[in-house]
Amino acid sequence: MSGNFKMDKNERAYLRELAKRQLECANLPIMAERAKRWYAHNDLRGGKPLIVVEHNSFAEEILPQSKCHNAEAKEIERQLCMWLANHEMINDDKVIPPYYAVYWDIRCKDFDIDMRVTHAEDRAGRRLGYAVEHIINNLEKDFPKLKPSRYGVDRGRTLKWKTFVEEAIGDILPVVLKNNSLYWHVTPSEKVVRLMGLEGMMYAMADYPETMKALFRFITDDVLSYVRWQEREGLLTCNNGNDFMGSGSYGFSATLPSKTEHVTAKDLWININSQETAAVSPEMYGEFIAPYYSELAAAFGLLYYGCCEPVDGIWQYVREYPNLRKISVSPWCDEERMGDNLRGGAVIYSRKPSPNDIGIVRRFDETAFAGHIARTLRAARDCRLEFIFRDVYTLSGDNSKPGRAVEITRNLIDSVW
């Protein structure tokens, strides 16, 4: 969007009705109950496992046809409708907020390099696949091309957008300024692969081990510089309330402080993952990845580690990361082994079930799905457990599947857990 925000009177009236519906949902007793459960769960005070279905990836299949035509009105409409669709069609343990969130307009140009990215569309026109033109082809020769990242914030545009939303719906839903710039930023291995490709990274670990360590050192320092800049600029906002805090989970926690001024990294949750090194041996992970990731974890208040990568083979390193509170147990992970590792401990077993049952299959096999969930409940017995359903990129024509999956999971929690 440009800075010239537009909305006509019909769009405004429609958005106000949506805002009223969101506020009604946010004030339901179940929302306060869920928030209480999240706080207890994240602060290690027990309770039943919580369930989240991340629905951004299939939003177009559950959202109603847009009634707005101006881009700015469409953006507000989409955010409001996302919460309403989640409540009406999925009914997981997300808490619908009694506010509307806007985010600081922060830009970061990694390593001051223009990376050329080519996107490919799927049959639905979604640009999910992409290829990056790698900057580093010979690590020792091309390393000097990297410079400190350039970043900035457009305060004027951010505050103008906040005012625009407030004038439309702010008397119904307060407009709250937040920061989502670190969601997927603290991921050095992902940045390495964007620079040199997966094959290039793996060869370089063997061919130029000391230079690879220097590259991870450079990237770690660069990430921390970006975070410290945001601290100095007063851009960080607490994420220990109803805040997405990485890899699908939510941040409700009294362990971290809630404040509006002088927020630092130590006040925040952070997600750190290294999906790109899944094929690297545990020993090489310990040598090339763990030292830098441990340093990054220490800079923040609470750590959610992992995304889609298996963590059972590298647990000996990950368990030593400072401030570790949650670990992703993905479909490629040995969930029984992770249950043994986490049982009775203070790290939450954040299970990512396979998305296939809900996603690509046309007929929802409830029996197979129930067996999948029951296995996790047995594997994670006496652990602190949550279910995060993500990477469901299509519902294959059956919009009832996510809600039914939540219902089955809840029933199994009651009967098996």
CA distance 411 to 405: 10
Q: What are phi and psi of 202, to 5 degrees?
A: -70, -40
For 396, list phi and psi in degrees, rounded to 5. Answer: 50, 40
Which amino acid does the sequence have at 142? D
- β-pairing, 106-109 vs 269-272, is unpaired
SS (H, E, C) 292-338: HHHHHHHCCCEEEECCCCCCHHHHHHHCCCCCEEEEEECCCCCHHHH
Q: How far apart are the first and last CA of the chain?
A: 47
Give the model's pLDDT for residue 2: 55
The CA R_g of the chain, rounded to the nearest whole Å, is: 22
- In tens, the pLDDT along 317-343 reads 999 999 999 999 999 999 999 999 999
* Run means of pLDDT, 10 residues per run, the chain, 417 residues: 84 98 98 98 97 95 96 98 98 98 97 89 78 92 96 98 98 98 96 97 96 98 98 97 93 93 97 97 98 98 97 98 98 97 97 90 89 97 97 91 97 95
97 vs 172: CA distance, rounded Å:
12
pLDDT in tens, 249-299: 999 999 999 988 899 999 999 999 999 999 999 999 999 999 999 999 999
Residue 37 CA to residue 229 CA, distance in Å, equals 35
DSSP letters, 332-382, are TS-HHHHHHHHTTSSSEEEE---STTTTT-SS--HHHHHHHHHHHHHHTTT
Nearest-angstrom CA–CA distance, 233 and 417: 46
CA atoms of 96 and 34, how far apart (whole Å): 10
pLDDT at 1: 53
19 DSSP assignment: H
- The confidence score (pLDDT) of residue 3 equals 67
Alpha-carbon distance of 224 to 186, in angstroms, equals 9
Asked if 204 contacts 211 with a C-beta cutoff of 8 angstroms, the reply is yes
Is the domain spanning 9-416 CATH 3.20.20.210? The answer is yes
If you count them, how many residues does the chain have?
Answer: 417
CA distance to 61, 62, 123, 402, per residue, from 398 (Å)? 9, 10, 18, 9
396 Rama sector, left if φ>0, alpha if ψ -120 to 50, beta otherwise? left
Two tokens, residue 382 = 């006496």
Burial class (CB in 10 A: 0-12, 13-18, 19+), 233: middle
The model carries a pTM of: 0.95
**CB distance 384 to 348 below 8 Å:** yes
